[in-house]
Amino acid sequence: MAAMTISDLHKRFGPVNVLKGINLEIADGEFIVLVGPSGCGKSTLLNIIAGLEHQSDGTVEIGGRRMNGVAPKDRDIAMVFQSYALYPTMTVRENMSFGMECRGVARAQQGEAVTRVARLLQIEPLLDRKPGQLSGGQRQRVAMGRALVRDPVLFLFDEPLSNLDAKLRVEMRWEIKQLHARIGSTIVYVTHDQIEAMTMATRIAVMHQGEVQQFADPDTLYNRPANLFVARFMGAPP
């Protein structure tokens, strides 16, 4: 079964058409990268998948279930934001538990989940610190940890590395790929960075002005771009 099917998805903000009929079918366990220039609609698409925005038209199905009208907390999804969105007054442990606390998960089970994920991401020594006492890379790991404790079927990342310096960005790419190999969840990862897309994705959707220009594996995109935009954006000679 498809992990996610997006059909004829449209989004208008007032008179502006931001998404103009997106169709994507994603298989279980894939690492999909949405790439495209700033303003092309990547975050809007991700927010609709997460249920944080409503589409104007079309459907999103996750695991065969239509998501129209399903609240974000009832979707089997976790999202990592560019800004990390950690709570500054809470410790790392509290940041990671907060979502479970809100959903009424028993304390013992919360503790187990935090321990398991902290070990996986090697952030156990940081559990009692607050976000202000962490480096950029550590904050990034905690933001991923907070998403991972949900054990979601689908992971959404919105430009998670763009606040990190170049060296750390390369390291974290590798870590996220490793993580994907270990947990096997389906990932939809947004970036405006072509190299990040080429190195991480099983398949890449190249977006431009609210439309998917091409959806293919990195090799095909590079060697057989569907049009001039894809060729230029992905860096292959036209």
Residues in contact with ligand ADP by CB under 6 A are 13, 18, 36, 38-44
Q: Is 114 helix (H, G, I), strand (E, B) or coil?
A: helix
13 binds, among ligand ADP, Mg ion, none (CB under 5 to 8 A by kind): ligand ADP
- C-alpha dist (Å) from residue 151 to 109, 167, 214, 237: 13, 29, 30, 41
Nearer to ligand ADP, 137 or 210 (CB): 210
33 binds, among ligand ADP, Mg ion, none (CB under 5 to 8 A by kind): none
Scanning 39-47, 61-69, 178-186, 213-221 for contacts with Mg ion by CB under 5 A, the matching segment is 39-47
145 binds, among ligand ADP, Mg ion, none (CB under 5 to 8 A by kind): none
Q: What does the alpha-carbon distance between residue 238 and residue 232 come to, in Å, rounded to a whole number?
A: 7
Nearer to ligand ADP, 54 or 107 (CB): 54
131 binds, among ligand ADP, Mg ion, none (CB under 5 to 8 A by kind): none
Nearer to ligand ADP, 118 or 206 (CB): 206
Nearest 5°: phi and psi at 109?
-70, -35
Nearer to ligand ADP, 44 or 185 (CB): 44
Pick from 159, 215, 204: nearest CA to 39: 159
Q: What is the DSSP string of 25-80?
A: EEETT-EEEEE--TTSSHHHHHHHHHTSS--SEEEEEETTEE-TT--GGGSSEEEE
Residue 100 in contact with residue 110, Cβ under 8 Å? yes
Q: What does the alpha-carbon distance between residue 163 and residue 159 come to, in Å, rounded to a whole number?
A: 9
Q: Should residue 194 be labelled a site residue for Mg ion when binding is judged by CB under 5 A?
A: no
18 binds, among ligand ADP, Mg ion, none (CB under 5 to 8 A by kind): ligand ADP
Compute the least distance from the CB of residue 93 to ligand ADP, in Å.
31
- Binder among 26, 40, 41, 43 for Mg ion (CB under 5 A): 43
Compute the least distance from the CB of residue 163 to ligand ADP, in Å.
15
Q: What does the alpha-carbon distance between residue 165 and residue 10 come to, in Å, rounded to a whole number?
A: 35
Nearest 5°: phi and psi at 77?
-135, 145
Judged by the rule CB under 5 A, the positions of this chain that interact with Mg ion are 43
